[in-house]
Homo-oligomer: A and B are copies of this chain.
Amino acid sequence: MKVTFLGLGVMGFPMAGHLKRAGHDVTVYNRTSSRAAKWVETYGGTAALTPATAAKGAEIVFACVGNDDDLRSVVYGPDGALAGMSVGALFVDHTTASAEVAREIDAAAREAGLGFLDAPVSGGQAGAENGKLTVMVGGVEKDFDRAKPVIDAYARACVLLGTAGSGQLAKMVNQICIAGLVQALAEGMHFAQQAGLDGAKLVEVISKGAAQSWQMENRANTMLDGKFDFGFAVDWMRKDLGICLAEAKRNGAQLPVTALVDQFYARVQKRGGGRWDTSSLMHPLTNP
């Protein structure tokens, strides 16, 4: 299938690569064009100089960029993807963005005779590289059925959760659950250290019971070692939590611990940890 991928960051670069390896005819675009050149050098395919030219003739145009504004800049205007796409084509957005921008682009796409899915992912850089992302999708079933076999090139789960925006809302729930969970784990590990316990031995025991979590199994020991270089960065988490808290203001949800943890992440940023991973909530506890 002729497809386009816009945005070749740590996620987009390998995701587009999986599409190429699956046999699709892939054209890519990246704001910094040297990165697009590197992608072509790695995987083959074609690089274009604007989203509009990249999108020309594609059945599906994928995007995975930084935030709402980055997304709007590759979608709208004379150089934007919508200007290049043919009637009947489908735009699939993998950016973690607001539900608002998803609904807005959905409306714009529909008016132009195009389909739209918001499809943020979880699984991080490792998931993107080994093709095992979880994809949370909002949109209509007809579009989902078209996109899913293609997305499967880099997903181990791809689920339609509701109308446009639902994918973004689902991703927000995911990040809300993680934020407080990681803080609780950090407080537990910090307490263990203050109490003089053998943390690794302790984690082995309590991870068999009701305190168990993916984070405990994968991050507790590195937290105890004060190593925060294993995954999703604090800067990105703060962007995501900002989206969650703004949406909560709209839908009336109360997120007291999520809001507090967002402030703890602000503290981590202030001490130069913006690129540390999310488990660095341990740092302000052990180094007040």
Contact = CB atoms under 8 A, between A and B. Distances in A.
A189 to B, nearest CB: 8
B176 A122 contact: no
A280 interface: no
A151 to B, nearest CB: 14
Given A170-B205, A255-B191, A214 B214 contact: no
Size category of the A interface is 35 or more
A213 B219 CA distance: 13
A165 to B, nearest CB: 9
Contacts of A73: none
A183 B253 contact: no
Nearest to A281: B257
A199 to B, nearest CB: 9
B184 A169 contact: no
Contacts of A210: 122-124, 174, 178, 214-215, 218, 231-232
A187 B257 contact: yes
A159 interface: yes
A256 B157 contact: no
Interface stretch (A17-25, A84-92, A243-251): A243-251
Interface of A is mostly: helix
B198 A162 contact: yes
Q: How many copies does the complex hold?
A: 2
Contact of A256 (B166, B187, B201, B209): B187
A192 B173 contact: yes
Contacts of A175: 211
Nearest to A195: B169
Nearest to A165: B195
Contacts of A216: 177
Contacts of A260: 256-257, 260
A210 B122 CA distance: 8
A182 to B, nearest CB: 8
9 contacts: A136-B202, A136-B205, A157-B205, A159-B205, A180-B257, A181-B181, A195-B247, A257-B257, A257-B261
